[in-house]
Amino acid sequence: EPEVTQTPSHQVTQMGQEVILRCVPISNHLYFYWYRQILGQKVEFLVSFYNNEISEKSEIFDDQFSVERPDGSNFTLKIRSTKLEDSAMYFCASMNGNSKNIQYFGAGTRLSVL
């Protein structure tokens, strides 16, 4: 069964460093998303991406964040200058755009900012 894959599974970085989280969405999907989950809290929407541009973003997704689909298979989230409070699980999701509106999630990348 097709699945969303995310790498790395765990990323440790120093505060102020840039990180890039990588995702390979399900191959025939058209809509891509990033969510984050701070330890013990609910999953929060960051950004949605369709047709090579951001279609919606939350207030969390400030100028430090950016997304890119550099080729036909990868979807990346970049954090330019990480802060301690960026420590969280980051989940990528994709959806194929049919009427079922189901987003499929990857296993996540745990980001630890020291």
Partner 1 sequence: GQQLNQSPQSMFIQEGEDVSMNCTSSSIFNTWLWYKQDPGEGPVLLIALYKAGELTSNGRLTAQFGITRKDSFLNISASIPSDVGIYFCAGYPGGSEKLVFGKGTKLTVNP
Q: Which residues bind partner 1 (CB under 8 A)?
A: 4, 6, 31, 33, 35, 41-45, 48, 55-56, 58, 91, 93, 100-108, 110
Q: Give the nearest distance from C-beta 103 to partner 1 in angstroms.
A: 6
Alpha carbon distances (Å) from 79 to 14, 68, 103 = 12, 12, 23
As measured in angstroms, the least distance from the Cβ of 88 to partner 1 is 13
Say if residues 65 and 79 touch (Cβ distance below 8 Å). yes
Q: How far is CA 2 from the centre of its chain?
A: 18
Q: Which residue has the tokens 């999953």?
A: 43
Q: Nearer to partner 1 by C-beta: 71 or 100?
A: 100
Q: How far is the CB of 51 from partner 1 (least distance, A)?
A: 12
The C-alpha angle 73, 18, 45, rounded to 5 degrees, equals: 60
**Choice between 14 and 40, CB closer to partner 1:** 40
Written as six digits, the tokens of 9 are 């599974």
Q: How far is the CB of 80 from partner 1 (least distance, A)?
A: 23
